[in-house]
Amino acid sequence: MSRRAVLRTAGLTGLGLGLGTSACGRGFGGGDDAEGGTVALNMVWWGDAKRAEKTQAALEIFQRKNPGVTVRTEYQDSGPYKDKLATRFAAGNAPDVMAMRMDSLREYADRGALLDLGQHADALDLTGLSENARALATVGDRTYGVPAGLNAIGFVVNRTLTEKYNVAVPDGNTWNWPDLARFAREVTRASGGRVYGTNFEAYTLANIIVFTRQRGEDFYTADGGLGVSEATVADWFGIVESMRAEGGFPPAGFIEKIGASAEQSYLAKGSIASQIIPTNNLLAFNAAAGGNLALLRIPGETQSVRRGQSVDCPHLWSIAAASKHRAEALRLLDFLVNDVEASKATGTTRGVPANSTVAEEIKPTLSRDDQAATEYLGGLQRERLPRSYTYPPGSSKIAATLESIAAEVEFKRQTPQQAAKAFVEAGRKALGR
């Protein structure tokens, strides 16, 4: 049966069919025991060749420290990863250890496909993680994953451009959304329209989630519902539309999808002076943009109803409930989370180490930009932030809806109010409530 056929006939509803059976080592990795009586763990994840190189370096250390355990890995681009993982579970061939998307965790957990790590505190020590970090993989009172690294979103400003056009960089600890609009307008005017003051994706969930929290709402609620109001979504689109009308934000159609890398960004091209980025990408963006970026908080953090920022992660590490090598898989996760050598090998390719002590220990070995990102994350974890709730099943549909509706607003086919009404209706339908 083809992969698509498996998905079509079984889908995630077939996850339960695979429980209780062992990995057979076919296709997307392999989990058979290695020759000579050693245990072979099957570990799958997504990423690029650089991430693969660093991951392999850490795994070699693990294997050296754990004779008798080998780790067979396979990685690929993020796009097809979700379907391939679903196919593995539906076919009863779940990997032992896997990268888990934030918007998939709850769906797998609800179906009993993942190991409750909270029941294995004797093997997996999570005491070095902050409450915010541990909560990322918690569903109810159970823990189904470990952050592979921590990041957040931050606002970067290209100081080379602001110095060139003599525009002051706002105070990142006190600025609000009107301050951003004013800054963006000044940059565009001072540059004669050659540079737009700011740009960020109105359709990215991470961005609107922060704005929603600042309004005193939760985008996703504790029970897996949609908590954002129409008024907040309308104001989110309205802020962008106002900045676009004033010239501080690029006109409709100016920003095209030119690729996800820092090198391909408009920030690197010098077309815009500021944008939102994931903090674990600061090193890449700063290098691509000329090395003079300032990292600020998201506007409105000190002047809104409450804090909006959260500690997030690029992905989680989870263990299949059906893994026949549970003890070795737990040992591997404990190594990735708590071993300083492991984090030195992986660096910040998946963000700042989730264990705060480990993060501090490896900080002197990091580049200046990675040290800045580590300090930013460390500071956030010491602050009182709202709880970040696990994405409920249906979140991927909500992300797609937000992107399509944002385009309707950008090209004035819908007003912010119309778009907000359509988005909330579609979001509730996607979540089935």
DSSP assignments along 385-431, one per residue: ----PPPPTTHHHHHHHHHHHHHHHHTTSS-HHHHHHHHHHHHHHHH
Q: What pLDDT is recorded for position 17?
A: 30
pLDDT of 232 reads: 98
| Rounded Cα–Cα distance for residues 416 and 236 (Å) | 8
| DSSP labels, 3-18 | HHHHHHHTGGGGHHHH
**Euclidean distance between the first and the last CA atom of the chain, given in angstroms as a whole number:** 34
More confident of the two residues 255 and 345: 345
**28 pLDDT band (50/70/90 cuts)?**
low
pLDDT reported for residue 36: 57
Residues present in the chain in total? 433
Residue 428 pLDDT greater than 60, yes or no: yes
Least confident of 193-202, 225-234, 384-393: 384-393
User: How many beta carbons lie within 10 A of that of residue 394, not counting itself?
Assistant: 20
Pseudo-torsion of CA 98, 431, 131, 56, nearest 10°? 20
Integer Cα distance of 432 and 429 in angstroms:
5
Nearest-CA neighbor of 307 among 386, 212, 390?
386
Contacts of 279 (CB under 8 A, 6+ apart): 151, 152, 153, 154, 295, 351, 352, 373, 376, 377
Residue 50 pLDDT grade (very low, low, confident, very high; cuts 50, 70, 90): confident
pTM metric for this prediction: 0.82
Q: In the prediction, which pLDDT does 393 show? A: 85
Residue 11 has pLDDT above 60, yes or no: no
CA–CA distance, 287 with 122 (Å, rounded to integer): 42
What is the arithmetic mean of pLDDT over 411-424? 97
Confidence of residue 389 (pLDDT cuts 50, 70, 90): confident
What pLDDT sits at residue 34? 52
> What is the pairing mode between strands 97-100 and 39-46?
parallel
pLDDT over 70 percentage in the chain: 91
Indicate the range of 13-17, 189-193, 370-374, 401-405 predicted with least confidence: 13-17
Per-residue pLDDT band for 32 (boundaries 50, 70, 90) equals: low
**Within 10 Å of residue 382's Cβ, how many Cβ atoms?**
11
Strand partners, 69: 39
Helix (H, G, I), strand (E, B) or coil at 240: helix
Q: Where are the beta strands (DSSP E) in 159-292?
A: 274-278
Local confidence band at 290 (pLDDT 50, 70, 90 cut-offs): very high
Taking each continuous run of H as one helix and of E as one strand, the counts in the chain are 18, 10
pLDDT recorded at residue 35 = 55
pLDDT reading at 331 higher than 70: yes
Question: How high is the pLDDT of residue 258?
Answer: 61
Query: How far, in Å, CA of 193 to CA of 249, rounded?
Result: 10
- CA 137-138-144 angle, to 5 degrees, is 60
**118, 142 contact by CB (below 8 A):** yes
Which of the pair, 140 or 174, is modelled with greater confidence? 174
Question: Collapsing DSSP states into helix, strand and coil, what is residue 259?
Answer: coil
Q: Among 274, 324, 266, 268, which residue's Cα sits nearest to residue 299? A: 274
Question: Strand locations in 297-406, DSSP E?
Answer: 316-319
Contacts of 63 (CB under 8 A, 6+ apart): 69, 70, 71
Q: With contact defined as beta carbons under 8 Å apart, do 361 and 99 qualify?
A: no
- How large is the average pLDDT for residues 100-116? 92
CB atoms < 10 A from the CB of 37, how many? 7
Q: What are the structure tokens assigned to 369, written together?
A: 């930009």
**pLDDT at res. 129:** 94
pLDDT, tens only, 228-249? 999 999 999 999 999 999 999 9
- Using left for φ > 0, alpha for ψ between -120 and 50, and beta otherwise, residue 56 falls in alpha
Query: Averaged over 392-421, what is the pLDDT?
Result: 94
Burial (0-12, 13-18, 19+ Cβ within 10 Å), 364: exposed
- Please report the pLDDT score of residue 25 as a whole number: 33
Q: What is the mean pLDDT of residues 89-117?
A: 94
Structure tokens at 337: 């989370």
Going by the DSSP 8-state scheme, the letter that residue 355 receives in this structure is S
